[in-house]
């Protein structure tokens, strides 16, 4: 992230060296993600098994994913409002504190054999983890527009370490449970302080607050001119959605999340249907996580080098291809390739869309603007988690795959329609 020549939207522009203070803050956030990201894997990996253990019903296994979607929907905009008013660090630390409390409650629920306690704990944990994703907003605050994609890539790369560390904590928790008579599903959650507290500790060293850096960015990058904000004095969700590029970015990232939510459930069902072992299924999911996070830095670079749309829409298209492979092919390698492509496409759409939204709004509005996008993503997550099971039961596995494909197609069709409309207006002017 030193001195280099960057490109934005195809135009060559000189890029100032990144100040040491901003480099330090970025690495602190990335390291914090490497700790806290491991905890999020507990929810996706252990959550369905915990629901089955406490309810005795496999039909309710998807409820943990629904809870995560609900928590994201509930917390995204309010925490964005908090960080816009008080700074990014207070919102991030509040989120991590909630995640710590929710994780411990979730682990405790298995000792109590209480589904309501597990429900409460998972909801609080999800709200905390998604609130802490204001780290993404903080990353965009500290860099000019032409470097924001890479900033998001560096922070996202920290999640890769968390994904790799998560199985180690699950194994450690299981062994401790067997040794001391605890519940193997609950024990990893009780190790949550070992993940959350170091992350909180690292965030305390971020100085000054990224929001303060964003409002005075020319001090750190001389010659930078802030973009003209979409909003006026007061932030307005309606105004944000009326702005076509912002609306398309929100739809793109929402579609990528919805597509991925279907595929995450579908992959296990498809591979199990074809007789593959739990180990093979776990490896396929590991490839999905690799696609999501391992290529964050080059994806961010491409978003800066070639422009947001040239990464965002191909990312959505890649999720469409991946979902098709998962749903409509049978070989193990093609299903695994499909789930990897869904993760990779999500990364492209998410990084480019987040950078695009950040480009179009002022620093003082950025937390709420990205919070709006996250709220839509949380909403689609809930909807698809609720409908995937019935689709599979009533119409078979391909029906759920077709649903994922249709979701991914929406922003592509919207973009095509917008382009045709603009061409029509230009043609009318020339006539």
Tell me the domain boundaries of the chain: 20-210, 236-418
**pLDDT band of 386, cuts 50, 70, 90:** confident
**Taking residues 244-267, what's their average pLDDT?**
91
Which region among 9-18, 69-78, 122-131, 217-226 has the lowest average model confidence (pLDDT)? 9-18
**Taking residues 371-379, what's their average pLDDT?**
95
Q: Whole-angstrom Cα distance, residue 418 to residue 252?
A: 14
Residue 427 pLDDT: 47
Peptide bond preceding 208: is omega within 30 degrees of 0, i.e. cis? yes
Residue 157 pLDDT: 85
Q: Whole-angstrom Cα distance, residue 409 to residue 392?
A: 20
Position 29 pLDDT exceeds 50:
yes
Q: How far is CA 54 from the centre of its chain?
A: 28
Residue 408 pLDDT: 95
Residue 228 pLDDT: 53
Position 13 pLDDT exceeds 50:
no
Residue 101 pLDDT: 96
Query: What is the CB-side half-sphere exposure of residue 163 using CA atoms within 13 A?
Result: 17
Contact 309, 10 (CB under 8 A): no
**pLDDT band of 289, cuts 50, 70, 90:** confident
20-210 folds as Growth Hormone; Chain: A; (1.20.1250)
**pLDDT band of 342, cuts 50, 70, 90:** very high
Query: What backbone phi and psi angles, to 5 degrees, belong to 122?
Result: -65, -40
**Taking residues 4-15, what's their average pLDDT?**
39
Place domain 236-418 in its CATH homologous superfamily. Answer: MFS general substrate transporter like domains (1.20.1250.20)
Position with higher pLDDT, 404 vs 285: 404
Position 420 pLDDT exceeds 90:
no
**Taking residues 303-324, what's their average pLDDT?**
96
Chain mean pLDDT for the chain: 86
**Taking residues 142-159, what's their average pLDDT?**
91
Q: Which of 153-157, 319-323, 385-389 has the highest mean pLDDT?
A: 319-323
What letters, b where the CB count within 10 A reaches 16 and e where it falls short, cover 211-245? Answer: bebbeebeebbeebeeeeebbeeebeeeebeebee
Which region among 45-54, 200-209, 248-257, 273-282 has the lowest average model confidence (pLDDT)? 273-282
Q: Which of 40-49, 203-212, 236-245 has the highest mean pLDDT?
A: 203-212
Q: Tell me if 20-210 shares its fold with 236-418.
A: yes
Q: Whole-angstrom Cα distance, residue 344 to residue 340?
A: 6
Question: Percent of the chain, pLDDT > 70?
Answer: 89
- Express each pLDDT in 176-229 by its tens digit: 988 888 888 899 899 999 989 999 999 999 999 999 999 889 889 987 765 555
Residue 156 pLDDT: 86
Residue 390 pLDDT: 80
Which region among 61-65, 84-88, 308-312 has the lowest average model confidence (pLDDT)? 61-65
Query: What backbone phi and psi angles, to 5 degrees, belong to 12?
Result: -80, 125
Contacts of 67 (CB under 8 A, 6+ apart): 47, 119, 122, 123, 126
């Amino acid at each position: 992230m030193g001195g280099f020549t960057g490109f934005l939207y195809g135009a060559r522009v000189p890029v100032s060296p990144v100040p040491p203070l901003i480099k330090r803050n970025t690495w602190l956030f990335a390291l914090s993600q490497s700790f806290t990201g491991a905890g999020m894997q507990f929810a996706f990996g252990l959550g369905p098994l915990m629901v089955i253990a406490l309810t005795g019903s496999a039909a309710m296994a998807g409820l943990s994913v629904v809870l995560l979607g609900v928590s994201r929907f509930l917390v995204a905009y309010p925490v964005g409002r908090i960080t816009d008013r008080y700074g990014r660090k207070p919102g991030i630390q509040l989120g991590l504190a909630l995640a710590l409390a929710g994780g411990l409650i979730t682990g405790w629920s298995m000792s109590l054999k209480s589904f309501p306690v597990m429900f409460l704990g998972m909801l609080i944990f999800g709200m905390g983890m998604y609130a802490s994703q204001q780290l993404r907003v903080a990353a965009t605050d500290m860099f000019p527009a032409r470097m924001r994609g890479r900033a998001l890539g560096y922070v996202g790369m920290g999640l890769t370490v968390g994904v790799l560390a998560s199985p180690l904590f699950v194994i450690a928790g299981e062994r401790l449970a067997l040794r001391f008579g605890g519940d193997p599903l609950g024990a990893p959650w009780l190790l949550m302080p070992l993940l959350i507290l170091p992350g909180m500790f690292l965030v305390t060293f971020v100085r000054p607050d990224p929001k303060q850096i964003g409002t005075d960015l020319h001090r750190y990058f001389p010659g930078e001119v802030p973009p003209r904000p979409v909003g006026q004095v007061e932030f307005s969700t309606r105004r944000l959605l009326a702005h076509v590029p912002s609306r398309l970015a929100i739809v793109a990232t929402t579609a990528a999340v919805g597509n991925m939510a279907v595929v995450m459930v579908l992959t296990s069902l498809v591979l199990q249907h074809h007789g593959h072992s739990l180990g093979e299924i776990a490896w396929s999911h590991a490839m999905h996580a690799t696609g999501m996070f391992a290529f964050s830095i080059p994806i961010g670079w491409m978003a800066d080098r070639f422009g947001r749309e040239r990464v965002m829409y191909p990312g959505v298209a890649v999720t469409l291809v991946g979902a098709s492979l998962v749903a409509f092919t049978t070989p193990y390698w093609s299903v695994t390739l499909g789930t990897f492509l869904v993760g990779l496409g999500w990364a492209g759409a998410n990084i480019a869309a987040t950078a695009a939204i950040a480009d179009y709004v002022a620093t003082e509005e950025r937390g709420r603007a990205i919070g709006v996008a996250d709220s839509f993503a949380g909403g689609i997550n809930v909807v698809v988690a609720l409908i995937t099971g019935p689709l599979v039961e009533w119409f078979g596995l391909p029906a759920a795959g077709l649903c994922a494909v249709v979701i991914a197609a929406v922003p592509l069709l919207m973009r095509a329609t917008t382009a045709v409309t603009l061409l029509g207006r230009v043609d009318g002017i020339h006539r």
